[in-house]
Amino acid sequence: MVINRRTFFYEIYAETLGGELMQKDPVCGMMVDEKKTKLTSKHDDKTFYFCSASCKTTFDKDSHRYGHA
């Protein structure tokens, strides 16, 4: 299992501060607040969150590629 150190430490930081855990945009890797974004897609019963309409469109065109990365 490969752990992205940046994401791992960000999650610890957010939890330590009592903040919300952010979700990683599967296209660009940006961290997205799932409570604030309206840009979401579902793939294999999992919800994905996006930072922009462009990332959502890219994902929707090839969700299998990004949904299993």
- Residue 7 pLDDT exceeds 60: no
- Residue 10 pLDDT exceeds 80: no
∠ Cα 51 36 31 (to 5°): 40
d(CA 57, CA 55): 5
What are the structural domain ranges in the chain? 21-67
- Segment 11-49, tens digit of pLDDT: 555 554 555 678 899 999 998 888 889 999 999 999 999
What pLDDT is recorded for position 35? 85
- Segment 39-68, tens digit of pLDDT: 999 999 999 999 999 999 999 999 999 887
